A and B are shown apart, each in its own frame.
Chain A
Amino acid sequence: MTTKPKEKPSRFDPEPVPRRDFLGLAALGSMALALLVSAFGMLRLPKAAVSASPSKKFEVDIPDALPAGEAFVPPGRNVAVFRDTEGVYAISTVCTHLGCIVKALPNGFECPCHGSGFAADGAVTKGPAPKPLPWLKVTARGNAVVIDEETTVASGTKV
């Protein structure tokens, strides 16, 4: 059924979008928008602004008798500290695959969870780990060193 459009629309003609429909749609739309915005607002809540975890920076006394190339694991930390003739360096022991704690062996590291293997400098030698173990920032403080687990440095940086 096709009707020829009139030249001049009369006020008795049906509106293209009837006023009631328009108002109804506008009301629904604004409600949907309000819900959407509030949902985003509510989603903001679970993303914590401050992470409730212990400090990642700590001071450690390295035992004098630590042989070169042997790992010293400060109590309560997931870090292996080494000392050789060039200086002190620290390698994270958190596996880059899925966060298990790797075990320091004489010539590298191995992960108990999915069998990733790492060389003594943290490079991946086998298994699913996507990245080498990161080296952590070490700064000297008197006889002790301060290790910052949150700051990684280039592999080979010794202090």
Chain B
Amino acid sequence: MENEERTALNTFWHNLRAVPVDLYRAMFRGGAPVTDRTRSSFVFGNVFLHLHSVRTHLWSLRWSATMGLGIITTAAFLITLVTGVLLMFYYKPYPDVAYHSIKDIHFIVPTGRFIRNIHRWAANVMVVAVILHMARAFYTASYRKPREFNWLIGWGLLVTTLALSFTGYLLPWDQLAYWAITIGANIAQSPREITDAMGITEWMDIGGLQREILLGSDIVGEESLIRFYLLHVMILPIVMAMLMAVHFWRIRKDGGLAKPADVNERVSVSQPEHYPVFTEEPKKTYQLAAVVKGRTPAVGSGPENTVPSMPHLFYAELGILMFTTLICVALALVSDAPLKELANPLVPENPAKAPWYFLGLQEIVSFSAFMGGIGIPMLCWIGLGLIPFLDKETEGTGEWFGGPGGRRLALWSMVYGFATSIAVEAFAIRFGWLREWFPDVPQLVITFLNPGTVITALYAGYSIWALRRFNSTRAGALALFTCFLCGFIVLTVIGTYFRGPNWVFFWSPADWKAH
């Protein structure tokens, strides 16, 4: 071999043999993540991973810090993305044809039913996880400076998640879908309740315009289906992906997860078990060069208690991804996504129920279309968005139920939140409401004085009491958020389990009257 001539042909063979190794080296320039340096370059040298910081604080890796809820939401989104693209191979967005294509997916397409079930369950898991994730961020007061903007991005992600679910609900074009969307579209039209009462609908028909843009017609028909399809497979997923990218990026830019001020005293690693833990803040060259704002690291400024994100954080994230997939697959195996009869615009489903997470809304919609469908949800939504700007206290950041009042206040708010909503609902169910007592009562009175608005007002009053009692904006927010969460649960449970045909109260679906 030694005296083998270095001909071009030899070089060619040599290079060809080296292709796999060279390709690997070209892709992973940093080398295997085995040292501090290569673990770092593993993260920042990868366009997807570099949304994470190179090192992660030990506090953030604790199970109780996040419960993995954000990652569960992300994982569920990825699952819906993959299964959704698969379903698009067969789905045809045209009335009646759509229904038959879903039937094909369910009964004929190999694994079609399984994939559709996973898609449906992942969507449900995502809704649950995104709500719990929001609750986690709220209860650990993680929305505070400098994370106000990321709270708002999450606020947008919540709405996008719900919008994705809602638009997906129409696509099967069965009775369930058709009537849920009819109700939804008419909720969009419900500002007419106000404009009618003021007598200005003729000149300023906001409700009618909203419905028309949503449906593309004055009925739920082919135009509506293609619009919902476009929103569901194109517009909303793009919005979602962009917001998610910003959301993750901001976590890193805002200094990782919110942590208590004395976090380093609480998490101190005296004897690192597997891997050395940084005991000094790393030299952040951008800051030293005064390219970006921020504190200049002082040498020897105490332990920072971080570990490399690779493998500590990434393995945790992958574990949660696998866990979420497992949950969705298991649910898909035991429970099929519903498919009722073909949509019939002449006979409504009775009871016509929206997906479960909208049944709380449907419950208050059954008192007033405008207040239940638009007024109160908007109030909650705007209130949620304003939280970081109204509570600027610093006590308790990064801690569960942090702030004045704390765990005790949260507990009492829970009791109050449940008791109030159950009491008002029970009263309305037992004794009826204004229209039953005074048949001639003007609509505007019912719009503004109905069980939904009464519960809202009781919650607001309680929150102001808590705010004054503890002399703290955080206490007010804690009381209000907890109350609304409880109200959401109570109304959702009533709408799901205790409402039957004609939206009449029943103790159990077994008591539903034939209709």
Contact = CB atoms under 8 A, between A and B. Distances in A.
Interface string A67-87: 000000000111000000000
A51 B217 contact: yes
Given A53-B218, A113-B352, A114-B503, A130 B447 contact: yes
B196 A131 contact: yes
Given A52-B222, A126-B436, A100 B352 contact: yes
B183 A78 contact: no
A53 B217 contact: yes
Contacts of B447: 130
A101 B348 contact: yes
B216 interface: yes
Given A53-B218, A99-B182, A112 B348 contact: yes
A126 B366 CA distance: 11
Contacts of A24: none
A48 B212 contact: yes
B450 to A, nearest CB: 8
B346 A98 contact: no
Nearest to A111: B502
Contacts of B450: 128
Contact of A128 (B227, B369, B501, B504): B369
Interface in B217-267: 217-219, 221-223, 227
A100 B187 contact: no
Interface string A112-138: 111100000000111110110000000
Contacts of B367: 128
A94 to B, nearest CB: 9
Nearest to A110: B502
B60 interface: no
Interface residues of A, number: 27
Contacts of A112: 348-352, 501-503, 515
A46 interface: yes
A52 B213 contact: no
Nearest to A123: B439
A20 interface: no
A67 B465 CA distance: 62
B443 A99 contact: no
Contact of B366 (A101, A110, A114, A125): A114
7 contacts: A53-B221, A77-B346, A100-B179, A100-B182, A101-B345, A113-B352, A130-B443
Interface of A: 46-48, 51-53, 76-78, 97-101, 110-115, 124-128, 130-131
A-B interface, 3 closest residue pairs, ranked by CB to CB distance from nearest: A112-B350, A114-B366, A98-B186
